[in-house]
Structure 1
Amino acid sequence: MPIASPRHGGAAPPPLVQLGSAIREVRLRRDLSQEELAHRAGIDRSYMSSVERGGQNLGMMHLLRIATALDVAVAELMGVAKL
């Protein structure tokens, strides 16, 4: 089971927040609910919610599953996140 990312002063690390925001932005552009994206990516909806808030330090496989479910390249997500 994935563990939450370490907290710095109570706030999620900025790169994780940026990536989560990018995932949310692309998801909304594709008119997908958080639940539908989680289903397509094969991950739990509550985990997806935490990812979008920057509360999870995604592993490569989860990131690939999310990108595939959004029909985008990981590089595009990183570009939207400005990382």
Structure 2
Amino acid sequence: MQKREVKPGRPRGATSFDQGVATAFGEVVREIRKTKGLSQEGLANAAGIERSHMGKIERGLHLPSLVMVMNLAEALGMRPGKIIDQTMERLVKG
């Protein structure tokens, strides 16, 4: 039996983007940001990302990487797990 070649990365055509998760995550981040009285630009600067990218995250057009989630959480003064928990709760409620 011949071994198959292992290629790094996702298979062609595969995606890890999930619109429901992206939208819920963005809504949660926006609510936390507003509750803390931060502007979108202020949060983006504190997290080390562009303001336009922050807008895409909040609108559910981009699902951030784990590192970016950690940076956002730190900028918001909370643990990443709390943001993830709130996102999961929003997904369950539908």
Does the alignment reach a TM-score above 0.5?
yes
Residue correspondence of structure 1 range 1-80 to structure 2 within 5 A: 13-80=19-86
Q: 5+ residue gaps in structure 2? A: 1-14
Distance 1:24 1:74 in 2: 15
Structure exhibiting the larger radius of gyration computed from Cα positions: 2
Counterpart position of 1:3: none
Unaligned runs of 5+ in 1: 1-5
RMSD, aligned CA: 1.7
Q: Percent identity?
A: 31
Tell me, in whole angstroms, the C-alpha distance in 2 between the residues paired with 1:62 and 1:40: 11
Higher RCO (C-alpha 8 Å, min separation 6): 1
Deviation at 1:79, TM superposition (A): 2.0
What are the superposed Cα offsets for residues 40-75 of structure 1, whole Å, 9 maximum, x if unpaired? 001000000000011112111111100000011111
Distance 1:33 1:75 in 2: 22
Flag as ranges the 4+ runs of structure 1 deviating above 6 A: none
Give the alignment's TM-score, normalised by structure 1: 0.82
Structure 2 length-normalised TM: 0.73
Aligned length: 74
